Amino acid sequence: MKHLLSINDLSKVEAISVLDTAQELARVSDGPMKKLPTLRGRTIVNLFAEDSTRTRISFEAAAKRLSADVINFSAKGSSISKGESLKDTAQTLQAMGADAVIIRHSASGAAQRLADSKWMSGSVINAGDGTHEHPSQALLDAFTVRKHLSKGGNDLSGLRVAIVGDVLHSRVARSNVLLLSKLGAQVILVAPPTLLPVGVESWPCQISYDLDEIISNVDAIMMLRIQLERMNELYFPNAREYSRYFGLNSDRIRAMKPEAIVMHPGPMNRGLEITADAADGARSVIVEQVANGVSIRMAILYLLLAGNQEHADIGVNL
Amino acid sequence: MTSGRYLLTGLTLPNGDKTDIAISDGKISEIAENLSAAEGATKVDLAGSIALPGLVDLHTHLREPGKEDAETVLSGSMAAAKGGYVAVSAMANTSPVADTAGVVEQVYALGQSAGYVDVFPIGAVTQGLQGENLSEIGAMADSRAKVRVFSDDGRCVFDPLVMRRALEYVKKFDGVIAQHAQDPRLTQGAQMNEGEISSRLGLKGWPAVAEEAIIARDVLLADHVQSRLHICHLTTAGGVEIIRWAKARGINVTAEVTPHHLLLTDESALSYDPIFKVNPPLRTQKDVEALREGLADGTIDIVATDHAPHPAEAKECEWQEAAFGMLGLESALSIINQTMVATGLMNWEAVADRMSYAPARIARYSDHGAAIKVGAVANLTLINPTQTLRVDRDLVASRSRNTPFHGMDLQGSVTATFFKGHPTFLNGKLSAIYEARNPSGGR
């Protein structure tokens, strides 16, 4: 595998191998010597054409722990903000000898355009493209779910995961539906009908308009961010009504199964889709998701760039 | 006129009759089997070719004035001749917009001096395509360009009162309003057909209803004011149903379909390659089938190319940044052969109707769309339906390269085009009508 553009690029076996690799790498990160020499001499570019803090930092930390040279190329103040085309940016990165480009872009399909074009030859990793996909986020979410809830197997079979909120505009939801269902989990999308895409019935998941109806019956609940600009686009009457029907609050937290966990890809709108006590409560694994993100992104970089070395090599390479 | 004499041999007429055709002084002089060449006549062996009345396109973007990097009247005329066309209709969304007599006369004159096809300008319905005030419709109709078709194509005439007034006003000179049916509110930021594929790709959807609602409204308006309405580039099965219903009620509506909407579907977008980005968008296989059926049974009156050239940078980018539109003139007839004739849905007489007679009739181009008969102006399109056209974007006559058919083998290839008795396209070569009148080439 050369690129990671969509969860569809991964077979179930490959997806599990990313999770397993991340698990091993997490063990290294917990040890006294955090840095591995695996990608020494490789150049990785963080091409963030859209504002992002946590994903960019997470990829940067992952690349640095694998000893890669990291170049950050962010929208603000760069040639992208001056109107440079994706093609010219890609050719520039190619000329600088980038081995991999991690791209975050507001246009759906930007990562695939980069990978399919002849503009550059390195690996392309999709760090979120428009409202299409965010595969590394889904992998870290699956990793988090597996760590907390797996009943011994290496996949997610037997688990029920609800994804709640603005599915229509969510790349996190698209990648998660594909990945969690591939790993055997049952996914339920919960949203007002206005925030579900046309044709969603063909996705490998169930649909509900009623959070209270499903909340007591899921193992994990993933809250999606409601972007503030949606407020004026007629998707729902107002924030209060949205929170009342689709927000996670302490009453709903109490209705959940004893072991069920609460997730959010961040950044959160506290008070809108999630209350502070839900976000910070005992069920919340939101901060842990961030930590797991580094391990997952190390695993992605490792598997894409370190060739066909066996996972067992990780230990040997120390 | 001292244009040459030609003897075209080995042809089949739309009705299936085998024949030769002799051309002299710009007119068809003889139609019969086994003709012998008149003195000085150039004999052209076109064995295997079908002879069609010269094709007329009712929907062409020539980009001049304003976007000469994408196309000019000359380069677009050459692409038209290569595709078998003898007349094209230059859409009004140029810069400046064709909303005054001055602009339409300029475009008309550029077409005459290019000398490959008749270029008939389409006038804007509203000033600057803004959808608010009527443009100088009467002045354009009375100008040397004699405009009869008015369209804000690229934008919908959305205000129902403006649409009503426009429909009424053009009755004065038997004009027609060609509507780009797209509800702007339902398609804000829309990128592709709204459906399973747009949802999967995370590209903003363009629902079929945004097209159908406008068509439904406008056939009712046309009925109410008893005027002529033409629907540009129909793309949905529902739209075909509405037109069928309107025609059954006797409403004076005509409709067009593009070759690309007869061949491609929204699955093309799975590549995220904006070469497939077009307005209106490619729809589903079900829609493609309804469009083919509608064209075959005459619900859809004509094929129009919506030839829309764009410079490379407008397509070498992210999908949502890319321009809408694709080239059409040079591949249109091959696609109609492949999708409609080779499939048995239509015969060549129907092709002659949908691509020559009917468009000329709708636009009132009185010198075009005549049946092939002795004494008629020798506007002829010859196509060999078994010859393959390998589309190569580097070999197009258009100044732009944005064909979605690059690398495809299309079934059927234009072998020659005669415009007023002159071979504008023959043996793979283009030549303007002036080159016959004045071989030294001065123009």
How close does chain B come to A34, measured CA to CA in Å?
A: 37
- Is A191 found in the same domain as A90? no
Task: Tell which residue, A64, A59, A48, A117, has the closest CA to residue A88.
Answer: A117
pLDDT at A190: 98
Q: Helices (DSSP H) in B92-233: which residue ranges?
A: 101-114, 137-142, 160-169, 196-201, 208-225
Nearest to B202 among A116, A117, A132 (CB): A132
Task: Tell which residue, B231, B223, B242, B99, has the closest CA to residue B168.
Answer: B223
Cross-chain residue pair A85–B198, CB shorter than 8 Å: no
Tens digits of residue pLDDT in A33-54: 888 999 999 999 999 988 888 8
Q: What is the span of the domain harbouring residue A109? A: 7-133+290-317
pLDDT at A192: 97
- Is A106 found in the same domain as A152? no
- Is A190 found in the same domain as A114? no
| End-to-end CA, chain A | 25
DSSP string over A37-85: -TTTT-EEEEEESS--SHHHHHHHHHHHHTT-EEEEEESTTSTTTTT--
Tally of domains in chain B: 1
Tens digits of residue pLDDT in A223-282: 999 988 777 789 999 999 999 999 999 999 999 999 999 999 999 999 999 999 999 999
Tally of domains in chain A: 2
Asked if the model's pLDDT at residue B24 lies above 90, the reply is: yes
The Cα–Cα gap between B256 and B57 comes to 10
CATH number, domain with residue A206: 3.40.50.1370
pLDDT at A318: 30
**Residue B286 belongs to a domain:** yes
Residues of A in contact with B316 (CB under 8 A): 85, 87, 117
Cross-chain residue pair A197–B203, CB shorter than 8 Å: no
**Residue A214 belongs to a domain:** yes
Q: Which two tokens stand for residue B8?
A: 């075209």
- pLDDT grade for B249, boundaries at 50, 70 and 90: very high
Residues of A in contact with B210 (CB under 8 A): none
For residues B384, B385, B390 and B394, what is the CA-based torsion angle, rounded to 10 degrees? 50
Residue B42 CB neighbours (<10 A) = 13
pLDDT at A309: 46
pLDDT at A262: 98
- Is A282 found in the same domain as A294? no
State which amino acid sits at residue A166. Answer: D
Mean pLDDT check: name the lowest of A68-77, B28-37, B245-254, B370-379: A68-77
pLDDT at A311: 43
Q: What is the span of the domain harbouring residue B291? A: 54-363
- Is A106 found in the same domain as A83? yes
The β-bridge partners of B85 are B55
Average pLDDT of chain B to the nearest whole number: 96
Tens digits of residue pLDDT in A163-186: 999 999 999 999 999 999 999 999
- Is A204 found in the same domain as A116? no
The β-bridge partners of B430 are B425
pLDDT at A78: 64
Residues of B in contact with A105 (CB under 8 A): 318
- Is A106 found in the same domain as A205? no
Q: Are A206 and A218 in contact (CB under 8 A)?
A: no
| B269: nearest CA partner in chain A | A109
**Residue A37 belongs to a domain:** yes
pLDDT at A227: 84
ipTM for the assembly: 0.92
Instruction: Indicate which residue of B118, B301, B306, B353 is catalytic.
Output: B306
- Is A264 found in the same domain as A212? yes
pLDDT at A7: 98
- Is A268 found in the same domain as A158? yes
Cross-chain residue pair B202–A108, CB shorter than 8 Å: yes
- pLDDT grade for A29, boundaries at 50, 70 and 90: confident
pLDDT at B437: 58
Which H/E stretch holds residue A164? strand A160-164
CATH number, domain with residue B140: 3.20.20.140
Nearest to B203 among A108, A171, A200 (CB): A108
Tens digits of residue pLDDT in A194-225: 999 999 999 999 999 999 999 999 999 999 99
- Is A71 found in the same domain as A25? yes
Tens digits of residue pLDDT in B296-347: 999 999 999 999 999 999 999 999 999 999 999 999 999 999 999 999 999 9
**Residue B222 belongs to a domain:** yes
Region of B189 (left: φ > 0; alpha: ψ -120 to 50; beta: rest) is: left
- pLDDT grade for A316, boundaries at 50, 70 and 90: very low
Contacts of A201 (CB under 8 A, 6+ apart): A207
Cross-chain residue pair A109–B317, CB shorter than 8 Å: no
- Is A196 found in the same domain as A225? yes
Q: Which burial class, exposed, middle or buried, applies to B433 when counting CB atoms under 10 A from its CB (0-12, 13-18, 19+)?
A: buried
Q: Decide if B297 is catalytic.
A: no
Task: Tell which residue, B80, B152, B153, has the closest CA to residue B118.
Answer: B80
pLDDT at B1: 38
Tens digits of residue pLDDT in A44-84: 999 998 888 889 999 999 999 999 999 998 766 666 666 67
How close does chain B come to A84, measured CA to CA in Å?
A: 11
The Cα–Cα gap between A165 and A45 comes to 32
pLDDT at A186: 98
The Cα–Cα gap between B428 and B415 comes to 8
Asked if the model's pLDDT at residue B439 lies above 60, the reply is: no
**Residue B229 belongs to a domain:** yes
| B207: nearest CA partner in chain A | A198
The residue behind tokens 């990785």 is A44
